[in-house]
Structure 1
Amino acid sequence: MAIFGLWVINKAGGLVYQRNFADGLAQLTSNEYLVLAGTLHGIHAITSRLSPMGSSSGAQVIEGESFKMNIFLTQTGTKFVLLTSLAETSADAVLQKAYEAYADTVMKNPFHTPEMPIRSDGFDQRITALIGSGHA
């Protein structure tokens, strides 16, 4: 069980935070991460409209052959995306705690501009304490 990475995507689909926690992940450029975040934002918007049962919050888990993307959508439209192994069972709890760290350290910072890249040592420290080397 492992956590490979964490992304935070703003409500417009822009990547505002990205961090890898495991070796072996493909090394992508900043532009490639931005394209991935925008694509995921679009997929999430489409899946929120596909529900045959009425309104939906969109995709919550996207599963590949060797990993999962767990998506947590906040009330403000910010998305927290956790890349994990298929066997990882703590993703929902980790996403909730990452959101709490974001609310406590980023959104309460009077010098942070909403929807802009997250540059917060306090947030980084809380994420490191939460995820560490990739095992929650």
Structure 2
Amino acid sequence: MTVYALYILNKAGGLIFQRDYGTELAKLSSNDYLVLAGTFHGVHAISAKLSPIEGSSGIQTMETEKYALTCFQTVTGIKFLLITDLRQQFVDSVLKRVYQLFADYVMKSPFYQLDMPIRCSLFDLHLNKYLESVS
């Protein structure tokens, strides 16, 4: 599995973390990343409401010809979006491990304020090391 990008959205749909890995995806402006996050948040919420299945969590995976976007939503509403190639084996376990790293290095940091952009060097270090190992 090749990881192209990771985005973390807060419960209101704001982009609090964004990393691109590799050069396969087109580079976006910072404004485009914010629009992408807000749009996905809205579509995710609408799809959860439109689902005929009671308690549906919304969009979990979107696929194109070249990549797949997988969403993992926590109980608190934080969304982890992982863009990978189509050979997305074990993507759920990868997202859960990313969430563990987030909980360990971001949420336990005394300097992090909820729903604010993530600026944590230990999280960056361990996240990069982990995503390199799965790519």
TM-score computed with the length of structure 2 as normaliser: 0.96
- Report the CA distance shift for 1:4/1:134 in structure 2 as closer, same or farther (over 3 A): farther
Counterpart of 1:128 in structure 2 is 128
TM-score computed with the length of structure 1 as normaliser: 0.95
Runs of 4+ in 1 over 6 A off after TM superposition: none
Determine if the alignment matches structure 1 residue 114 to structure 2 residue 114.
Answer: yes
Deviations 1:68-123, CA, capped at 9 Å, x for gaps: 10000001100000000111212111100000000000000111000000000011
Partner Cα separation in structure 1 for residue 133 and residue 36 of structure 2? 23
Partner Cα separation in structure 2 for residue 80 and residue 29 of structure 1? 20
Deviations 1:1-58, CA, capped at 9 Å, x for gaps: 3110100000011100000111232010000000000000001101111221211111
Identical-residue share of aligned pairs (%): 47
Counterpart of 1:71 in structure 2 is 71
Partner Cα separation in structure 2 for residue 108 and residue 31 of structure 1? 29
Partner Cα separation in structure 2 for residue 23 and residue 85 of structure 1? 13
Q: Which protein has the bigger helix share?
A: 2
Counterpart of 1:47 in structure 2 is 47
**Partner letter of residue 27 of structure 2?**
Q
Partner Cα separation in structure 2 for residue 118 and residue 74 of structure 1? 17
- Alignment: residue pair count: 135
RMSD after superposition: 1.2
Counterpart of 1:89 in structure 2 is 89
